């Protein structure tokens, strides 16, 4: 479907020869010496599968191989809408200090879920730049749980001293770690903020996650 859609968007009329059985597919692959289908032919010359088609048209191989900010943009956007919707439902207002707190809390909990889905992959990425995890591996496994706890605690409006110190600690360590890795050591790394398999580059957007945690902790302690 992706190969057909790409060809049609490029102005080609697609003659789709569907392989209707496993035997027919195996015969086709054997005849053409290929291991996968579909196979695209342009002017009777075989181009290949979807990845080869993207390369043929000057695109990257899989469309998502390079770095991207899409995951964090999606998470922060949904968190912002959730916070405004939640605040409107209880007060009739969209924007307030509480809205900001909810935005930070929702962002933290969604990001924590991303990490918790595959703790092993997350820690593999996290230990490449986090100052504490580089010295003590278990911190990488503990971190997502603390982030989730702090976010949920902010939403539940638990006592500040029960939540803020945790958010302040992981946020401060995280901010220092990202700043050192990116702006001092000049390292080009992937951020573990949305999980270990993400292509989000470590940088300002990654730093913002930690700054949000610090801001949320300070708001809880000061207001």
pLDDT of residue 55: 87
Same domain, yes or no: 188 and 216: yes
Residue range(s) defining the domain that contains residue 191? 70-222
Give me the number of domains the chain comprises: 2
Contact criterion met (CB below 8 Å) for 108 and 154: yes
Same domain, yes or no: 50 and 86: no
Rounded-to-integer distance, Cα 14 and Cα 220, Å: 59
Walk along the chain (223 residues) and give the pLDDT tens digit of each residue: 888 888 899 888 888 888 888 888 888 888 888 888 888 999 888 888 888 888 888 876 544 456 678 888 899 999 999 999 999 998 888 888 899 999 999 999 999 999 999 999 999 989 999 999 999 999 999 999 999 999 999 999 999 999 999 999 999 999 999 999 999 998 888 888 887 777 888 888 788 889 999 999 999 998 7
Assigned domain for 193 exists: yes
Assigned domain for 80 exists: yes
Same domain, yes or no: 107 and 207: yes
Contact criterion met (CB below 8 Å) for 86 and 102: yes
Assigned domain for 22 exists: yes
Q: Which residue has the tokens 């946020």?
A: 171
Q: Is 42 helix (H, G, I), strand (E, B) or coil?
A: strand
Total-model pTM: 0.75
Same domain, yes or no: 37 and 121: no
Same domain, yes or no: 26 and 135: no
Q: How far is CA 28 from the centre of its chain?
A: 38
Same domain, yes or no: 97 and 12: no
Assigned domain for 83 exists: yes
Same domain, yes or no: 94 and 176: yes
DSSP result, 122-145: HHHHHTTT-TTTTT-THHHHHHHH
Same domain, yes or no: 134 and 40: no
Same domain, yes or no: 43 and 78: no
Smallest Cα–Cα separation from 105: which of 140, 130, 74, 75?
Answer: 75
Same domain, yes or no: 159 and 128: yes
Give me the CATH number covering residue 37: 3.40.30.10
Same domain, yes or no: 32 and 74: no
Same domain, yes or no: 113 and 20: no
Smallest Cα–Cα separation from 3: which of 146, 12, 127, 190?
Answer: 12
Smallest Cα–Cα separation from 185: which of 197, 169, 198, 202?
Answer: 202
């Amino acid at each position: 479907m992706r190969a057909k859609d790409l060809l049609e968007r490029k102005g080609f009329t697609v003659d789709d020869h569907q392989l209707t059985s496993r035997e027919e597919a195996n015969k086709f692959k054997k005849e053409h010496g290929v291991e996968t289908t579909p196979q695209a032919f342009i002017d009777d010359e075989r181009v290949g599968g979807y990845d080869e088609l993207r390369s043929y048209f000057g695109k990257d191989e899989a469309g998502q191989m390079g770095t991207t900010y899409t995951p964090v943009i999606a998470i922060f956007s949904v968190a912002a809408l959730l916070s405004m919707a939640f605040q409107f439902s209880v007060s009739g207002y969209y924007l307030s200090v509480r809205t900001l707190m909810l935005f930070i809390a929702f962002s933290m909990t969604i990001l924590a879920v991303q990490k918790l889905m595959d703790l092993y992959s997350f820690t593999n990425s996290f230990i490449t730049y986090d100052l504490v995890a580089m010295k003590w591996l278990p911190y990488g496994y503990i971190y997502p749980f603390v982030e989730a706890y702090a976010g949920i605690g902010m939403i539940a409006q638990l006592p500040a001293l029960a939540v803020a110190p945790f958010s302040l600690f992981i946020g401060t360590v995280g901010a220092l770690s990202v700043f050192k890795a990116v702006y001092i050591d000049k390292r080009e790394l992937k951020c573990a903020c949305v999980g270990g398999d993400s292509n989000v580059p470590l940088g300002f957007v990654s730093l913002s996650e930690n700054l949000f945690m610090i801001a949320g902790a300070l708001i809880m302690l000061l207001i």
